[in-house]
Structure 1
């Protein structure tokens, strides 16, 4: 069973800052690239307090969601008790070999079936073992299934008060975990993030037979950009859609 997670200590802060209103450009584009989910089985990695999982369930998906933070999962389960959507939440480390394999998802309904889609909303940079996470995601997908993710753009250099994807005293090509110091980067000041180059992400997908099918670089919300005009000059978000085996299911 996973130990304490970085998000355990800030669960209240995170849940308050990221509500069920799905109107931020990156999340909107992520769900758009994921495509119609009604009647499909979807697995969310690093689900946090469940905001994306709940939206997927409202759109008709059968959702299983996993996270390493028990504190965030308690909030997700509380929301499920209040408004049941049929989401099954699992406390686990998704990078462990076999955790997401067929038939190993605990008491999840129909846990012996593979998934039509796997989604990860801003979670990959929080996961130290990218290789393990992507191996698990690919292993949980049926051939032709979709893996969709959103991340802070690996090429985002930051701006006044806003930390970029890598430390200000380092270089883009130097990868590793670090803790932001920008006064406007409230979340990453507390939990840090893993910086990886764009090629690292794409090559990792390819090693696990996830072929990049479409990508998007949504602009930030107007009010965010107005307060951070220098940072808004650069690409901030990256959303990617990959297909297992390169042949998508009919949408």
Structure 2
């Protein structure tokens, strides 16, 4: 046996193996830390506060700043929650994760479901039982932006969607479109003044939200929704920088 040649082959094999393992480690690190890699949209003071308060952001910071109008919407049934409706033909609950398949399966039983978007981070809690066995969908404004105030709840049991509760509303833009506050500036405002230590921002999403009043007619504004991990809080930041925390329904101006 040519030991010199065998040794060279082994060395090359180990080098190749190390290169493959190194690439895999780099790729895994990229996937794990992906959303956290680029904070250049945040100023240095905000990044410093993040470190001091041990705040993590596990969601990409959107860079788009579309122009959106305020919105008025009217409850069709006096703002009251509709009673739960049982589906004549239950469908597989896994369909909720695929919009087109869900629409195809439920459109014959739930009108306009094609204009609703599934929100995996929202929950529908039943007042009497406190159970949360429901998927939540929101109606879309301009076929794109969810109206967080309004929920379509799809109740499920034994891996089947068995019923739903839907609040009917009529949407109407009510103001001139204005440029949205950048998500990075909205996030900086929360980090500077609102988020407690050790907060983990799990999701950043653009949509509509407004404080609700005892009236059929409501108003919602474009907002950035910041959802914290483990249900520890949700914050809505309007285009003028005002912050709404729905747990208190209190708005604080800039």
TM bin, normalised by shorter chain, reads under 0.3
Higher strand share: 2
Q: TM-score, normalised by structure 1?
A: 0.22
Where relative contact order (Cα < 8 A, 6+ residues apart) is larger, the structure is 2
